[in-house]
Amino acid sequence: MTHVCIIGAGCSGITTAKRLAEFGISYDQFEVSDDVGGNWYFRNPNGRSAVYESLHIDTSTARLQFEDFPAPADYPDFPHHTLIHDYFRAYVDEFGLRPKIEFNTAVERATRTGSGWDVTLSTGETRRYTDLVVANGHHWSPRLPAWADADSFAGDLLHSHAYVNPFEPVEIRGRTVIVVGMGNSAMDIASELSSPWMAKKLYVSARRGVWVLPKYRNGVAADKVMAPPDIPREQALAAGRQLIRELVGSMSNYGLPEPDHEPLSAHPSVSADFLTKAGSGDIHMLPAIERLDGHTVHLVDGTSVEADVIICATGYEMQFPFFDEAETELHPDSDHRFPLFKRMIKPGVDHLFFLGLAQSSPTIVNLAEQQSKLLARLLTGRYVLPPVEEQVAIMEKDEAEHLAQYYASPRHTIQIDFGRYVVDLLAEIEAGEARAAS
């Protein structure tokens, strides 16, 4: 009998559990924390939440809600993290998923057997499963730059993952701060700390310029007016790039470095405040950092500044610590690449599924909800995978199409366009059901 292990009870784990239950598939679900929510559980005792106190999601409510569980009507366009966590809790309770989740229980090791997996838990128990679902998230293992040697810096150096507010874990008020990076977290934190009554001076250090996108277009949440997936990709991309240029103009007008790439060639950096803060002189730009020496921060252009605090908003590593390191095919490569068939399956590795393992525009919240449609049909025999060689060919084609618009960076190795991905996924489910029926 099919018996599935689900690792994690964040947004990907809980929606996968709901789907398996609907299809009558036996499963156990393990969560290292004491509640659901994963990354969206503020002060999560498992230490893996990247949520800071002021965080509002950059995806609109209309885009992030699950298909059969609409968000409350009074939710704003861009909810605070507490509302997102409340929404996930309500989802779990609405569909009776909580009793099946084994909280405060980590998966320490997952080992392949001849016909499935042996899973060793933090309780010391080992259980056997036919299939393994990895939904452990990918925003919990901070990536630090090579120069980020805390021993060489006389001030406070931390990753944005540890940032809570301007007073925790370190006092910011009256100090000179450098925020490293120009992604969404970097812009949120820099905007928050740059008020003159807070940081003495706020710098942002970046290797390259980025296009900063507004949250609204003509009074409508920007992701509500994205081009639908039935419009040809190049046509939609050209129109989107033109619209962005018209909306925000030249980045140098705000005192920011000009990007070396077209709009939408990077994962979107969205902020309601950053451009205004930069244009008002509250945010000061620096080139990339080369090395640290006491309070002196040496930059790649040969200049230097003095700083008291450095906050590195420099991304995260995909990690699966429960897999043996010797099984290299189960880990990302040195370039942070981890290709998967339909972003779910390692071709040739049976009974293993990754849910929610993508950087999705505009949303990752309901990605696993879509992927679980294929998973449940596969586990019940209603869907059949194509041959491994065909999986590889499809995977390579999908990767080329989804990544073509982005510049090469570890940040973009798992990037997908959510709308187009879902269209492709549903087409593959239909093809797999035809294979199963033949």
- The answer to whether 155 and 136 have CB atoms below 8 angstroms apart is no
Any idea which architecture 156-312 has in CATH? 3-Layer(bba) Sandwich (3.50)
In the chain, % of residues over pLDDT 90:
89
How many CA atoms are closer than 13 Å to the CA of 182, on its beta-carbon side? Answer: 27
Average pLDDT, the chain: 95
pLDDT at residue 362 tops 80? no
Show the beta-strand stretches assigned E in 336-432. 352-354, 359-361, 415-417
**pLDDT tier at 90, thresholds 50, 70, 90:** very high
Tell me the per-residue pLDDT of 234-275, one tens digit each, with 9 for 90 and over.
999 999 999 999 999 999 999 999 999 999 998 889 998 999
Tell me the per-residue pLDDT of 149-172, one tens digit each, with 9 for 90 and over.
989 999 999 999 999 999 999 999
- The answer to whether 155 and 310 have CB atoms below 8 angstroms apart is yes
Mean pLDDT of 219-225: 88
Give the DSSP H/E element, type plus range, for residue 61.
helix 61-64
Q: Where are the domains of the chain?
A: 3-141+316-437, 156-312
**pLDDT tier at 365, thresholds 50, 70, 90:** confident
Tell me the per-residue pLDDT of 321-350, one tens digit each, with 9 for 90 and over.
999 999 999 999 999 999 999 999 999 999
Exposed, middle or buried by CB within 10 Å (0-12, 13-18, 19+), for 383?
A: buried
Question: Which CATH fold would you assign to the domain 3-141+316-437?
Answer: FAD/NAD(P)-binding domain (3.50.50)
The pair of structure tokens assigned to 125 is 């128990």
pLDDT at residue 301 tops 80? yes
CA-nearest of 350, 377, 370 to 433 is 377
Mean pLDDT of 22-44: 97
Tell me the per-residue pLDDT of 34-63, one tens digit each, with 9 for 90 and over.
999 999 999 999 999 999 999 999 999 988
Give the DSSP H/E element, type plus range, for residue 312.
strand 309-312
Same topology, domains 3-141+316-437 and 156-312? Answer is yes
pLDDT at 238: 93
pLDDT at residue 209 tops 90? yes
Kind of pairing, strands 117-121 and 101-102?
A: unpaired
